[in-house]
Structure 1
Amino acid sequence: MKNLFRNRWHRWVNRRIPRSDLQFFSHKNIFILPTGAGVVFGLLLVIMLLTGINYQNSLVYLSTFLLGAVFVGAMHQTHRNLSGLEVTLVQPGEGFAGDDIPFRFRLRAGRDDAIAILLSCAESGHAPVHVHSGQVLDVSLLVHSAHRGYLRPDRIRIETRFPFGLLKAWSWIRPVSAGVVFPRPVPAPEAFSTVEGGEASAQLRSVDGNDHADIRPWREGDLSQRVLWKRFARTGQLVVVDWEGEQGSPHWLDFNAYPGADHELRLSYLAFLVNERGKSGARFGLNLPGQVIEPDSGPAHVARCLRVLATWGEERPRDAMSEPHGTRKRSSRTLSRVITEGRV
């Protein structure tokens, strides 16, 4: 029975407040109720009124009506404090799974000042802010994430209890845009990519006896299998072998290089390697089933690779679907089809 009432309430609210990255608050979508202190204050007024009636005391009557007028005035002021406010989602956040993802909102006050406005989502909230009439203020709200994928909060609550805290007026904004949650980086074991210079090659070539090899100093990001450990033991020099035809070729980060790990763990390995390559500034490419990112370097390339890892196998959230901490994983049938098409 409780769930039935809750579902009906949510459907009614969703019809009244459709999804949008911009929400304007008016009497049509603002809700107001007494707080705990307001309920106690109302009961006190009832007791005072009954006392005045019983003893026919004019002073008690006067005090009751004055306090009642204060309560009614506070109700109008609390509602007016939120009315006319415009809230816009400016930038959905990005971050790693398990972190709090920042969502940036822009508040624009109407004819009246918006005082002590509180934004909250689930267990996180923002300190109350004041927006003067006609002015704009940007605030960031942290939204908790648990899984990689798209992150779109179902509702962001906007609330005020100004001036006396006797009543609370609130509403919601239901964003359309979604943030992106990257896989949680997990240190990756040493593994050889099946991609060499953009072409698949499952066979590794031997160093010994290769007359077409070039020796160069070790650079961060080089695989340990290419290090000449015997020379390091003799001379203390850390050098790496490059074969002819591979000089200048990038290091590929390959989904297929970890056949024994599950898909989510592979993505976490790749996220770790992307971060490491980004720190060293090395060129690298990313090979995923059904999607290949050509080799490049720089912060923009790193960000692009992380977004691809975050959204691989995921669908953008639909209006009827909302997950509190990230998009729901695709069904095993759909994911199997994606992997089969990618020839894992």
Structure 2
Amino acid sequence: MEPRNVVVCCDGTSNEFAKDLTNVAKLTYALVKDPERQLVYYHPGLGTMAAPGFPMPIGNRAARIAGLAFGYGIRDDLRDAYVFIMNHWRPGDRLFLFGFSRGSYTVRALASLIRMYGVAMPGNAALVPYAIRMLWGLGGDDRKVRAKAYDQADQFKASLAMADCAPHFVGVWDTVSSVGWVGSPVSLPYTRTNDQITIFRHAVAIDERRAFFRTNLFQASSGQDTEQLWFPGDHCDVGGGHPEAESGLSKYPLEWMAIEARSGGLLIDEPRLAEILGKGPPGYAPARPDAKLHESMAWYWRPAEFAPKAHWDNATGKRGLRCNMFRRRKMLTAPKVHRVAWEIPGYSARLPADAVCV
């Protein structure tokens, strides 16, 4: 049998196929769906489905609040995506993972889960929650618990995993630094760096300032094909989700990701891609440098700027607490920035002097 693409798309918190589509939903629409060539899985994101036992619509509201605040449901999202891969991936297939916001964190955690435990043989769905619990055990500070979890991971992989499965392409829009808004419940291994990923692409928002949307940059391994490109705008100016008429800026990171993934072997329905990029029939906004540049720091987000939140201190190598205090995101030395930043009148003054136009 010919190798296929197995594609997993995880949307951001409280996003789904609705009026205001994210870039994950738009890319999913533009993918070729063919059981012989490319299988596609889409998950709407944390906080969109009703909690078990809750009536509708109360359950939807409860799930949304819990998903936004605490990351409720991420283990279920991981389980569902992993089971899809377990049931459909065959040795030789190429695995593509896409996500936005906490959906980006979900697919990076999924890549971590695969690195630690491999892909189990089909029919072992009952064991997947066990593997996820072990992964969470690796995210704590207790060294004995972590050592035991690593040993269990090796045993799980040796006993149940098929031939090595490694993500071929991981494409994410503006990954956030934690699962839930309240605290950082876990710090999972291999979400910040993972040398099993062949190609990694990350579109990052320059102008997002909210404390609960701190960026989570990827650290490349030696020789790894990675690129993290900064784009003007807030979280949804990069990952999509603003009203379509105001989504012109989000089309730049959408098109960039589609081109990068297509170069990596992703099968794209070109007329549909042109449609969502606003180059086809009316209905979708085109990419425009004069499109609305959104400000996400609304009044109801401001109190959170004064609340201490866990963060990783690179200087000490330890976790600490810090108030965000409306800080702008810190860009790395010589950051790669999309060319549209120089096409927006006056915008380039916000960029560091060593920014590289791409």
Q: TM-score, normalised by structure 1?
A: 0.22
Q: TM-score, normalised by structure 2?
A: 0.21
Report the structure, 1 or 2, having the larger strand content.
1
Higher-Rg structure is 1
